[in-house]
Amino acid sequence: MKALKLLSAVVLSAAVYAPSYAAGYPEKPVTVIVPFPAGGASDTTARVTTQKMQESLGQPIVVENKPGANGSLGAGQVAQAKPDGYTLMVASIGVYAINPALYKSLPYDPTKNFDLLTVAVRTPNVLVANPSFPANNVQELVAYLKKNPEKVTFASSGAGSSDHLTAALFWQKTGTTGVHVPYKGGAPAITDLIGGHADVSFQNLGAVSNHIKAGKLKLLAITSDKRNQSFPDAPTLKEAGVEGVEVYSWQAIAAPKGLPADVKGKLEQSLTAALNSPDVKTKFNDIGFEVVANTSGQFSEFLNQEISRWKTVVETGKITADQ
């Protein structure tokens, strides 16, 4: 009996005093993989968010850019990393929801190889045109496209990007066609659009807002579900008569599948606090992003919807990764 009591006391003592995995986590710097070049939306999201997270985690967070294959290269590396909380990924809608429809073979499965932590931010796309383009609103653009099939050029930041797929969805919903012109990033696409070497484009709001304000680009519509406060005169596509093209480009955070529950919980808590802090929200709002900061369960449900949606767009448009 005494031995049993002694054993119980030892077990209880161990349970009370043994630190949990999360209690000591993190004990070294955390690496965040961004599968795109520096300076883009994923990179900005990573750096703004992790700078704040360092305050609660108490360890440096190092952002590493691993671009290649529409983000597949870096995402594949994260999928194969040890699930200990020391490797995270910040990536875009393309990596999570569009690549699975574009590529027959990927080095990762977004629904199986990652612990989804949160959708960090989102931004609508805007339909913009060179100021000299004859259409001044969506109705005029649709009419022009129907009279000039396969003649109007739509610039995008690359094959499979959200702006490319938004254009494809727009064509499908309006019964029109256009010429997709992919660039190696949003910046050169916008430069050519301003220079008159391309006609129209769906671009992230934050990437072109200053050009719109300066009169270098003409704003025809926005892909959000409601008008934007910065451009209250710009109608949503739904208001302009085009249903089913509500599109947000989003950035989300994940980790290799199999995180210890307490480590995952600590990361989620740190992410939520960082994204909802007033200074971080202000930074994101200033560049056209809206903070989402949803739960892992909400992210999982949303991702399944997005994968299904863009798979339909890709299959309907017979879109390939090199188009």
pLDDT at 70: 82
Indicate the length of the chain as a whole number.
Answer: 323
Enclosing domain of residue 306: 28-122+249-317
Co-location of 78 and 217 in the same domain: no
Tell me whether residue 234 is in a domain: no
pLDDT for the residue numbered 322: 67
Q: pLDDT of 238-248, one tens digit each? A: 999 999 999 99
Q: Please give the C-alpha separations between residue 257 and each of 117, 146, 286, 294, 301, in angstroms, as whole numbers.
A: 11, 47, 33, 19, 17
Query: pTM of the full predicted structure?
Result: 0.85
The verdict on 116 and 138 lying in the same domain is no
Residue 40 DSSP class: S
Average pLDDT for runs of 10 along the chain of length 323: 44 41 84 90 94 95 92 96 98 94 94 98 96 98 97 92 93 96 87 97 91 97 93 96 95 98 97 97 91 97 97 92 67
What are the residues facing 261 on neighbouring strands?
A: none
DSSP codes, 149-209: TTTSEEEESSTTSHHHHHHHHHHHHHT---EEEE-SSHHHHHHHHHTTSS-EEEEEHHHHH
Q: What pLDDT, on the 0 to 100 scale, is given for residue 157?
A: 86
CATH of residue 307: 3.40.190.150
Computed from CA positions of residues 130, 132, 133, 137, in that sequence, does the dihedral angle turn out positive or negative?
positive
Q: Are 263 and 25 spatial neighbours (Cβ–Cβ below 8 Å)?
A: yes
The pLDDT tens digits for 18-66 are: 344 556 899 999 999 999 888 888 999 999 999 999 999 999 999 999 9
Tally the domains of the chain. Answer: 2
Instruction: Tell whether 22 is covered by a domain.
Output: no
- CA 262/CA 96 separation, integer angstroms: 25
Quick one: 128 and 213 in the same domain?
A: yes
